[in-house]
Structure 1
Amino acid sequence: MNDSPGWATPGSPSDGQGSDGTQPPAPPADAPKWSASQPPPGQWSSPAAGPTPPPQQQGQGWGSYGQPGQQPGQQPGAPYGSPYGAPYGHPGGPGGWGGPPPAAKPGVIPLRPLGLGEILDGAVSTLRGHWKTVLSVSLVLAALVQLGLLTVQRLMMDNLVMTPDEAATPEEAMRLLGDTLTTAVFNYYIQLLGLLLVTGLLAGVVSRAVLGQSSTVAADLRAVRPLLPRLLALTAVLFLGALAAGVLPLLPGLLTGNAVLMVLGIPVALTLLAWYFVTFVLAPPALVLERGKVTDAFKRSAKLVKGSWWRIFGISALTWVITWITSLIIAVPFAVIAMIVSPGGFSGLLDGTSAQSWTFLIITAIGGLVSLTVTVPMQTGVTNLLYIDQRIRREALDLELARAAGLDDYDAATPQPGSGPVTGG
């Protein structure tokens, strides 16, 4: 039985079974099987197919004229007794060879299990169609993130600069390595903190984009305001867990000053961090859209990710690569401008003096602000759509979404194309 809260509907037509594990009763013979918006797929019989042919005749009703089992007046290639002609994906039918019939699409995604391209396209379409709300939220969070990065960079820069003719002792080299690692870790985690928070804040915007509804900043904030304490608590717990997964394996090397232990701890930290992030990445949208408790959101994320860990990891990693490349494209021009106008120019960049100037730091921070404002909505959109996709696959959420979108002719009694049982990735 489906025990999910919020959007979920009891039972899943994708299971092909009732809540007690038995096959559901067949619908009445005169019940409509197909909505007007979706043609019947060829692999299922049509409403007018009549009774199933006897065993000795099964498999003969799919031929062409002149083949055994062809019914009088039936179009070539049509299934047994079908008035629809050639089925979808078969010769002579719509769609050529293979491929499901088009699903209902009230908003940025079709209401069926999504492919990689559809998830990425849905995230971009959400950003394009709701850019005022999305960019307003991401801009505020990006500004806070960049302010924190700018402060830490300026405080740590004196320790990270060494002149070329300065001979560093092993202790100084370890200190420099530790300071550099500390700065990199801080940069990563403060961006992760902002990303997690924006994911929850924009979950409602993405859900409305899926339904084809408009959104405003005021409406989004009103919807999230009652959940804000829980969202902040969830973000803090996620942040602390990620911090522990990424930093604890490095502590032995950092505390003892042993470079070997530090190097050995890096792959362990990356593995733990990847497992933790993917397992609980769907917790922010689960909290906002199901309006449950913090602990429930963690459980829901782990449940939805189970069996699909590698798929979600691959899509998240690819999204990170795309956004990282986009960030570089945006930030490089600002870095070039900062290098030109900062004291010392290119030579100052080499010896580290330019990086210590406020001019350089502020211009590069502006570039980081622009890149984060653009790329964070892409990452959060993919995460929220992964949550919706997993619930469509596991819990037939497409039926609930169709009703919420006002698709009255969406047939909830018939399994929709592509919403069969899906396990694993």
Structure 2
Amino acid sequence: MKDTPGWASPGSAASDGQEPGASGPAEPADRPHPAQQPGTDPQDSGPKWSKDQPPPGQWSAPTAPQAPGQTPPPPPPPGPGWGAHPPAGPGGYGGGHPGYGAPGAGPWGSGWGGPPPAAKPGVIPLRPLGVGEILDGAVSTMRTYWRTVLGISLTVAVVTEILVILVQGLVLNDRLDTEALDDPNATLSELTRATGDALISSSVILLISVIGAIIATALLTTVTSRAVLGKSVTTGEAWRDARPQVPQLFGLLFLLLLMTFGVVLAGAVPGILVAATGAGAAGGALTIFGILGAGIVALWLWFRFSLASPALMLEKQGITKSLSRSAKLVRGSWWRVFGIQLLATIIANVIAAIVVIPFTFLAGAVSGDGATSFLNGTTEFGWTFLIISGVGSVIGSMITFPITAGVTVLLYIDQRIRREALDLELARAAGVQNYGTGTPGS
């Protein structure tokens, strides 16, 4: 074992006949000890030092000869632990080895304080991460590379919100009618139709928002992966790196949405068929229970494949290969992946709501029609309301996009570190020297 301070095992002999911590060469064994009594004549018959001395560092106190059959005396009591230095004696031992000293004496802060901390070339340490470290890494990426991160988020948020305003103002307001939801005298068919129109309106807006979030995630994936290595990237570089994978990313998005809605629809079909036969109450109840059960399955599938996007972007994989990679990484850790992403989404949306809600009420105060529609829970809004509330949504998206995208990418990296030792490759890419040998350095 290499006798370096802080890593030698207790009781190991010094190498090359030298005391631990000694800086000079070992003295010859036949040299008399300088600490003799004053006035002692070397020719006296008193005790003298023998020429055959034990090697330094391995001596022990002399013991009296034992008579045959006599029980040996008990060993001396142990010292005060590894932190105590042995007293000075023949051979000069007693300087102490810096690796066995009291806490704080060794180069690592303690002789047995564990391995050194993991290298951290970027926003996260290169080891399995905790929940707080994943969230902190996403926020640190946004704070350290704010120009690129906010530039990407602002661009995607503006384009997405413009599409939402145009679709809402030009298409949904004219073709969908949800007024029956506020009419206490509305018939069952009118309520059903109004509920369907409200669901369609919400689904279209949600679809546009999800597309924007996927594009932002694609661009921010490159930024976050470089931030892990401590390297910056411009918006143009992020786009050039992500552009070849964007078409496949949309294909992945379409497949995930088709899978999700297909599972939910499959759960609702039995109830719909029962209701079509004339058993309205039984069919409605069966439809509700079917949608709930299918919704749980769809939720499980969504988070099972939630790491497919960073796998597609960073590994340059195809759609099906990315889905299988995500399933492999999430296997056995579904609840952890679900919990971390849910927590990140809640935090991001709470922060965004602090900005969006004041703009929404301001839009309602400025636009009478928009305020009435907003308070009544309908989906018909005026242009003034849509524009003012859209400004708040853009600001909110600038906050939610980096957090949710950063958490997804860091969670993907964390799962690969846990399962595939990705930290070794990341350390090499970041230029960390001697990583994995116990003495990382930059």
TM-score, normalised relative to structure 2? 0.70
Give the letter aligned to residue 288 of structure 1. Answer: M
Q: Residue 214 of structure 1 aligns with which residue? A: 232
Note closer, same or farther for the CA distance 1:134–1:246 as it changes in structure 2 (3 Å cut): farther
Inter-partner Cα distance in structure 1 for 2:345 and 2:184: 38
Distance 2:323 2:85 in 1: 56
Question: Are 2:312 and 2:322, in contact at CA under 8 Å, matched by a contact in 1?
Answer: yes
Q: Does 1:102 align with 2:120?
A: no
Q: 1:385: how far off?
A: 0.2
Distance 2:111 2:157 in 1: 47
Task: Note if 1:267 corresponds to 2:307.
Answer: no
Identity score, percent:
43
* Counterpart for residue 5 of structure 1: none
After superposition, the Cα gap between the structure-2 partners of 1:151 and 1:333, relative to the gap in structure 1 and judged at 3 Å, is same
Corresponding letter in the other structure for 2:178: L
Deviates more, 1:203-212 or 1:348-357: 348-357
- Which residue does 2:433 correspond to in 1? 408
The superposition leaves residues 346-376 of structure 1 with CA deviations (integer Å, 9 ceiling, x where unpaired) of 5565457994311112222222222112211
Structure 1 residue aligned with 2:394: 369
Distance 1:208 1:367, change over 3 A: same
Give distance in 2, aligned partners of 1:115 and 1:398: 15
Aligned equivalents of 2:312 and 2:370: distance in 1?
A: 49
Q: 1:392 Cα shift?
A: 0.9
| Aligned 8 A contact 1:133 1:215 in 2 | yes
* Paired residues of 2:149 and 2:220 also in contact (CA < 8 A): yes
Displacement of 1:99 in angstroms is 8.8
What per-residue deviation string (whole Å, max 9, x for no partner) do you get for residues 257-295 of structure 1?
Answer: 854344324422431232122111111111221122222
TM-score with structure 1 setting the length: 0.73
Of the three residues 153, 167, 174, the one matched with 2:185 is: 167
In structure 2, what is the Cα distance between the partners aligned to 1:186 and 1:99?
A: 55
SS for the counterpart of 1:123 is helix
Classify 1:83/1:245 alpha carbon distance in 2 versus 1 (closer, same or farther; 3 Å): farther
Kindly indicate whether residue 251 of structure 2 is the aligned counterpart of residue 233 of structure 1.
yes
Query: 5+ unaligned residues in a row in structure 1: which ranges?
Result: 1-28, 34-38, 52-62, 75-80, 417-425
Unaligned runs of 5+ in 2: 14-76, 89-95
Determine if contact 1:211/1:404 at 8 Å carries over to the other structure: yes
- Write out aligned runs for 1:166-185 (5 A): 167-185=185-203
Check conservation: 2:149, 2:402, Cα contact below 8 A: yes
Residues 313 and 68 of structure 1: is their aligned pair in 2 closer, same or farther, counting only changes over 3 Å?
Answer: closer
- Do the aligned partners of 1:342 and 1:360 also contact (CA within 8 Å) in 2? yes
State the partner residue of 2:79.
65
In structure 2, which of residues 355, 361, 382 is the aligned counterpart of residue 357 of structure 1? Answer: 382
Q: Is 1:330–2:355 an aligned residue pair?
A: yes
- Structure 2 SS opposite 1:202: helix
Q: Which amino acid aligns with 1:270?
A: G
Matches within 5 A, 1:10-409: 29-30=1-2, 46=8, 50=12, 65-66=79-80, 72=86, 83-85=98-100, 94=109, 101-154=116-169, 155-157=171-173, 158-162=176-180, 164=182, 167-250=185-268, 259-343=284-368, 346=371, 349-350=374-375, 355-409=380-434
- Superposed CA deviations along residues 316-358 of structure 1, whole A, max 9, x for unmatched, are 1111111221222111111111111113575565457994311
Moved more, 352-361 or 270-279: 352-361
1:284-309 CA-partner distances (Å, limit 9, x unpaired): 11122112222221111111111111
Q: Which amino acid aligns with 2:297?
A: L
Equivalent residues of 1:64, 1:70 under 8 A apart: no
**1:148–1:73: structure 2 CA closer, same or farther, 3 Å change rule?**
farther
Amino acid at match of 1:379: T
Return the letter of the residue paired with 2:79.
Y
- Name the Cα RMSD after superposition: 3.8
Whether contact under 8 Å (2:360, 2:392) holds in the other structure is yes
**Is the contact made by 1:286 and 1:297 (CA closer than 8 Å) also made in structure 2?**
yes
Change in Cα spacing, 1:105 to 1:67, as seen in structure 2 (3 Å) is: closer
- Alpha-carbon distance between aligned partners in 2 of 1:99 and 1:262, rounded to the nearest angstrom: 58
Larger radius of gyration: 2
The one-letter code of the counterpart of 1:137 is I
State how far apart, in whole Å, the 2-side matches of 1:328 and 1:69 are. Answer: 55
Q: Secondary structure at the match of 2:123?
A: coil
Higher relative CO (CA 8 A, sep ≥ 6), structure 1 or 2?
Answer: 1
CA gap 1:250/1:325 in 2 versus in 1, 3 angstroms = farther
Residues in 2 aligned to 1:361 and 1:106: alpha-carbon distance in whole angstroms? 44
Number of corresponding residues: 360
Given residue 199 of structure 1, which amino acid in structure 2 is its aligned partner?
T
Residue 49 of structure 1: how far off its partner (Å): 6.8
Return the alpha-carbon distance in structure 2 between the equivalents of residues 99 and 152 of structure 1: 59
What is the alpha-carbon distance in structure 2 between the residues aligned to residue 353 and residue 306 of structure 1? 42
SS at match of 1:366: helix
State the 1:252 CA deviation. Answer: 5.4
Shift of residue 109, structure 1, vs aligned partner: 0.6
Give the AA of the match of 1:153.
Q
Task: State the one-letter code of the partner of 2:229.
Answer: L
Find the counterpart in structure 2 of residue 55 from structure 1: none
- Name the stretch that deviates more: 378-387 or 323-332: 323-332
| Alpha-carbon shift at residue 383 of structure 1 (Å) | 0.2
Give the Å deviation of 1:124: 0.6
Using the TM superposition, give the Cα deviation of residue 70 of structure 1 relative to its aligned residue in structure 2, in angstroms. Answer: 8.2
Q: Distance in 1 between the 2:310 and 2:379 partners?
A: 42
Q: Distance in 2 between matches of 1:234 and 1:383?
A: 16
